[in-house]
Structure 1
Amino acid sequence: MKRNFAVFFALLFMVVLFQAGPVSAAQNEFGQAYSGTLADTNTEDRYTYTLTHSGTFTIDLQSYLGAVSIEVVDENNKEVFSHSVRGGKPDNPAKENYAVDLEEGSYTVIVERYSSSYNGSYRVTADFVSSQANEMEPNNGTEAAQKITLPHEPVTGFLSWNDAEDYYEFDVKQAGKVTIQLDSYLEAVSFSLINHTTDQRVWDNASVREGKPETPKKEFFTVYLEPGKYYAKVSKYSSSYTGKYKLKVSHTAAGNTETEGNNGTVTAQPFPSTGTVKGLISWNDRADYYKLRVKSPTKVNIKASAFFYSEVLLLDENGKQLDRVTTYNGEEDNPHTQIITYSLTPNKDYFVSVGGYYSNSQGVYTLDIPELKPVTVQFKDVSSAYRPAVDYLVRHQITNGLSKTEFGVSKNISRADAAVWLAKALNLNTETARDSGFADVPARAVGAVNALKEEGIVGGKTDTRFGAYDSLTRGEIAIILQRAYQLSGNGSSSFTDVSDRYRDAVDALVANKVTNGISARSFGVSQKLTRGQLAIFLYRLSTK
């Protein structure tokens, strides 16, 4: 009998001892409600869940206790979070919902008695929503960065309690524009772009704010880069901001024809014999230099075009600044153009430098020097007397002649054709000038006539007739050129066929060595102007 009692009490002791320890489930299911009771004999319960993908882990807790503690730990027993739930009653439970963004792995929910004075029951339910991220973890540093081959589909990434930053590696194979689109579903996230070679930051922790799970904040980061390897880094703005983002890197080659590194006078690139070059000022290439050298005295017009705020300098062989222009307020498809005009001395070195005016001034530019361009058109009717002038007009795209073989040197020029030539030579804006009111101007000359009239350079035969197809006379061109180039004379010409109407204009052309007339006594005021004569006049005025 005594032996039976001893066995009974031993068994009872083992049962009590077992019930006093924590209850643990090997693996629990999402969406399943689990109920438990906390008391002196059972102070905590554990529920283990396995996440097969990154995502949002949620816990619903109903507590019928005055106070209870809830904690989540990872598989290394590191605390994810812990909270207390208070105010529960047997007939009116306290309800709390918790959500945390986590990476793939095993996590344990611990429901624990808050203190020995609080006993009662609870119910807990856990759920999980996948982030649908397609990033390749781990990518938490430059050594482990996920490689992106451009072009690529957007990458969906996820920042969580246990993943504070993601790195993506991509190669820029040709210099050009890189655009990074970051769609943030987080309230705030940080973005950095890092140069692999120098470890310098193109952007350092730039923030993207006010994203929401249902309405992402879209931000575009654009920069011009030289070839090389770069890292895009997306990181938590603070520990409290977690969630999903999308990243896409796009690249457009600049198509620049410069030869790197032309970053100073010592390594300056000889200006191309084509007379034009397309260059790039980028984040990691802030200045380009080109060397000029001519064999004969040459007045050059260096046309610099860029859509960004650039600074273009003309330097002598010692690096002394001779001239300077800046471009600004342009657009990619409508760059701003400025011109440096300078007379170069033969057999001396000159340098043209292009740089961004501000540290963030970047983009594509072109330098065009028409005087250096080879003339490939060979007109059969152009003699040596007219060759320099005709070549100048062709180089500067003022005219291309009547055909591939005929310039029309001895043919009369119409008022419409002369207007087109002159507007181009003066670089007038033919797009925005107000309408001239003339009804007889052909479409090809409308813009030129509008611009010349707006500048007060030409008038018409009447208020509505320009005389577009009438031949221009030498007297008329004298007046037009005096106005266009603001010429003044000394009254010393001795032509007998020049009336008071033409006197000042003819004197101005003679004084400025544009023409000496058709003879010592005759200017030829009433004679019709030829295409060859106007070519010489414009050449002399543009290169003097």
Structure 2
Amino acid sequence: MRKKIITSLFILVFLIVQIIAPTNIAHAAITQTLTLGSTVTNDIVSSNDQDIYKVVLPTAGKLNIKMISSNNKINLNLKDDSGNQVLSYYPSLGNGNSSTTWSLPIDLKAGTYYFTVIKYVSDTVNYSIGVNFTGVTTDNVEPNNGPLTAQPLTLNADPLIGFIAANDDQDTYKFTLPISGRIDVKMISSIYGVNLNLNDNDGKQIFSNYVGSGSEQSPKTWTQLIDLNAGTYYLSVLKQGTSLLNNNSNTGKYNIRVNYTPVYSDDVEPNNGTLTAQPLNLNSNPIIGFIACNDDQNTYKITLPIDGKINLKMISSIYEVNANLADSDGNQIFSSRVRYGSDATPKTWSQSVYLKSGTYYFSALKQALGLLNNNLNTGKYTVAVTADGQPAQSSIPVSTLPVSSDAITISNNPVGTLDVVTLKNYLFTDGDKITIYSDAFSQKTIGSGTINSNQYRSTITTTEPLSQAGGYIYVTVTSLYKTESSRLGIQYNKKSAYTSTDLNSMPAGTVLIGTKSYTLEYANNSANSLEISNAIVNGGSIYVKNFSGNWIDNLTGKTVDPSNM
């Protein structure tokens, strides 16, 4: 009985040893460094085994992979330093008797990558693998994969050199037009197929174009003229999807530039309907108007004191535009198409009509041409209205804000306390209406008030809390019998700063908008665009913590010390 127990224990220990002992120590998955420009020869003998190689790319560029083997039962897998798969390929190699050479070029961002050579047969697999690398010099400041991390693009400057890689689907650039005007976008692409999109600050698409048939030997040149309103825009170069796995035709180098020609007009935006119609006085100087790609209509208000005939005259540089006149009840009096205008030879149009006294609305409306991204239905024009026997009408002056820096002060109070804008009444005019906007362009207001000259000061409590990180509000004044002034941006200080400890503890890939933090993946997900847009509007500065652990100022693209944020 004792002998039987000892034998059983021996068998049990033997089985445990067999289970935990490695079957082939020499071929365990140990990561080896594969130097650029080198080739290694190896073999895999154990079932389901693999070899792993580390490759470091100092810059973005093209990595050429070359493999030689007599066995076609191999999978080549490539992942980046975060474990994201970049490539999975089953090369068509040898037939077991003779070796075959396989190679593949792939465009990659700078970084560390891991090749895994996996065999899926029980036989021994012999192979050699080598890598060569050609670096590419670019102007990209990564990450720049969406509006939050968009790279500033200087207008009327030298082209930016960009690079779309197998593991980089998008480059986004940001530019701002201080006034309406025409932009000239030019792209020279060495990519066989790539998408170029332009969106406004609200995410509305202005155009989407496919730029095809580019190559390193014969780059493709693409240009587009676009008339735009003042505002901030985002130009994105996006990888074109391909049905061919690991196809290199949708990656590569490009350069892009945007030239800008401002157009000076008399438009007071918004003037897109009767509620916001701009006055058009009788027998006054012509008003210069501008129809943009993202502005379909300009409406003008005509007041006729007594019955009589008026004559409307338009001189248009637009190929096709509609000229409409309606009464105050919305009844259309006429609708005319003004055609064949151009910058070189503007088209002159006029029409006379007898009207009863009252209020009328003349509109210049964009003509739908049915051609995507067509610039023929946008541009500049002038319009004037004359009438005999009518009382003189003077132009309505524009309100002006006080020049004193002490006229308006902002109290960005601690969380839980209302934020207050204080006005020194003696620097304004009695009855002035003060409006506070959340940004420079939208119609979103966060407070308003009226000046009472009998009081030394007025206070306006904002309807939304100001950003804890500080920022700007935009103020206008509308005086009696005058139109609203232009917006004045006024900076306010932050409520309280994050400590350096707080900022250092935030993980890489964090986006900080004012006092709110997000992951890059969450921030660039279109499903969260409204939340992110609101955060940008209400927030202060934007910072991104890159995967090296450094905080990047989204506006300048420069590294910042947490103590200065």
**What are the superposed Cα offsets for residues 240-272 of structure 1, whole Å, 9 maximum, x if unpaired?**
422222222222112112333332334332225
Listed one character per residue, the Cα deviations across residues 419-463 of structure 1 (whole Å, up to 9, x for unaligned) are xxxxxxxxxxxxxxxxxxxxxxxxxxxxxxxxxxxxxxxxxxxxx
3-state SS of the aligned residue for 1:19?
Answer: helix
**Shift of residue 191, structure 1, vs aligned partner:** 2.2
Query: Which has the larger share of strand?
Result: 2
Contact between 2:47 and 2:120, CA under 8 Å: does it hold in 1? no
- 2:367 partner amino acid: Y
- Paired residues of 2:314 and 2:381 also in contact (CA < 8 A): no
Residues 295 and 70 of structure 1, relative CA distance in 2, 3 Å threshold: closer
Aligned to 1:367, the other structure's residue is in SS state: strand
Give the alignment of 1:451-530 within 5 angstroms: none
CA distance in structure 1 between the partners assigned to 2:296 and 2:75 by the alignment: 59
1:65 is displaced (CA, Å) by 4.0
Question: Is the contact made by 2:191 and 2:219 (CA closer than 8 Å) also made in structure 1?
Answer: yes
Within 2, Cα distance between the matches of 1:301 and 1:103?
59
1:82 corresponds to 2:100: no
1:291 is displaced (CA, Å) by 3.1
In the TM superposition, residue 344 of structure 1 has moved relative to its aligned partner by 5.8
Alignment of 1:31-430 (within 5 A): 31-40=37-46, 43-65=49-71, 67-88=73-94, 92-120=98-126, 122-196=127-201, 198-203=202-207, 205-238=208-241, 240=247, 241-271=250-280, 274-293=284-303, 300=311, 302-343=313-354, 348-358=358-368, 361-369=377-385
Secondary structure in 2 matching 1:315: strand
Per-residue deviation, 1:317: 4.7
Q: Offset of 1:303 from its aligned partner?
A: 3.4
**How many Å apart are 1:355 and its aligned residue?**
0.9
Report the AA paired with residue 264 of structure 1: G
| Separation of aligned partners in 1, 2:158 and 2:104 | 34
Asked whether the 8 Å contact 1:30–1:49 carries over to 2, the reply is yes
Deviation string 1:124-143 (CA, Å, 9 cap, x unpaired) is: 21011223221110011211
Show structure 2 runs of 5+ residues with no match: 1-20, 389-565
Residues 20 and 52 of structure 1: CA distance in aligned 2, closer, same or farther (over 3 Å): closer
Separation of aligned partners in 2, 1:299 and 1:199: 42
In structure 1, the partner of 2:416 is none
Q: List per-residue Cα deviations over 1:339-375 (Å, max 9, x = no partner).
A: 2123566x64443221112176322112245779xxx
In structure 1, C-alpha distance between the alignment counterparts of 2:28 and 2:82, rounded to whole Å: 21
Check 1:320–1:127 CA distance in 2 against 1; reply closer, same or farther (3 A cut). Answer: same
Number of aligned residue pairs: give it.
Answer: 356
- Counterparts of 1:228 and 1:250, CA distance in 2: 15
**Which letter maps to 2:285?**
G
Q: Hey, what's the Cα distance between the residues in 2 that align with 1:354 and 1:233?
A: 31
The structural deviation recorded for 1:66 is 5.8
**Partner Cα separation in structure 1 for residue 88 and residue 304 of structure 2:** 79
Match of 1:133, SS state, is coil
Q: 1:238 to 1:279 in 2, by over 3 A?
A: same
Q: Is the 8 A contact 2:24 2:46 kept in 1?
A: no
Please tell me the residue identity of whatever aligns with 1:275.
N
CA contact (8 A) 1:21 1:42 kept: no
For 1:143, what is the secondary structure of its paired residue?
A: helix
Q: 2:325 is paired with a residue of what secondary structure?
A: strand
Tell whether the 8 Å contact from 2:51 to 2:117 is kept in structure 1 after alignment.
Answer: yes
Whole-angstrom CA distance in 2 between matches of 1:147 and 1:128 = 29
* 1:259 aligned counterpart, secondary structure: coil
| TM-score for both structures, normalised by structure 2 | 0.57
Amino acid at match of 2:133: F
The amino acid of 1:330's aligned partner reads G
1:20 to 27, 35, 49: 27
User: Per the alignment, do residues 73 and 301 of structure 1 end up closer, same or farther by CA in structure 2, a change over 3 Å counting?
Assistant: closer
Alpha-carbon distance between aligned partners in 2 of 1:304 and 1:327, rounded to the nearest angstrom:
9
2:155–2:257 CA contact under 8 A, matched in 1: no
Question: Does the 8 A contact of 1:224 with 1:363 survive in 2?
Answer: yes
Note the C-alpha offset of 1:67.
Answer: 4.2
Contact kept? 2:328, 2:361, Cα under 8 Å: yes
Residue type of the alignment partner of 2:204? Q
- Indicate if the aligned counterparts of 1:306 and 1:337 stay in contact, CA closer than 8 A: no
TM-score (norm 1): 0.59
Q: Which amino acid aligns with 1:38?
A: I
Q: Could you report, residue by residue, the CA deviation over 1:21-76 in whole angstroms, capped at 9, with x for unpaired residues? A: 24542x33211222223334995433211112222111111214464433222223
C-alpha spacing 1:69/1:354, structure 2 compared with 1 (3 Å): closer
Q: Contact (CA 8 Å) 2:93, 2:102: kept in 1 or not?
A: no
CA distance in 1, matches of 2:60, 2:72: 34
The residue type paired with residue 229 of structure 2 is E
Do 1:305 and 1:366's aligned partners in 2 also have CA atoms closer than 8 Å?
yes
Tell me, what secondary structure is at the counterpart of 1:88? coil
* 1:326–1:338 contact (8 Å) kept in structure 2: no
Look up the equivalent residue of 2:261 and give its one-letter code.
T
Q: 1:286 to 1:119 in 2, by over 3 A?
A: closer
Letter in 2 for 1:153: D
* Higher mean C-alpha displacement, 165-174 vs 331-340: 331-340
Matched residue type, 1:354: A
Secondary structure of 1:221's aligned partner: strand
Corresponding letter in the other structure for 2:268: T
Distance in 1 (CA, whole Å) between partners of 2:273 and 2:27 is 81
Q: What is the alpha-carbon distance in structure 2 between the residues aligned to residue 151 and residue 129 of structure 1?
A: 31
Structure with bigger gyration radius:
1
Q: Deviations over 1:165-184 (max 9, x none)?
A: 12211111101112322333
**Residue 223 of structure 1, CA deviation:** 2.4
Q: 2: distance between equivalents of 1:301 and 1:23?
A: 83
- Identity, in percent, stands at 25
The runs of 5 or more residues in structure 1 that have no matched partner are 1-13, 373-544
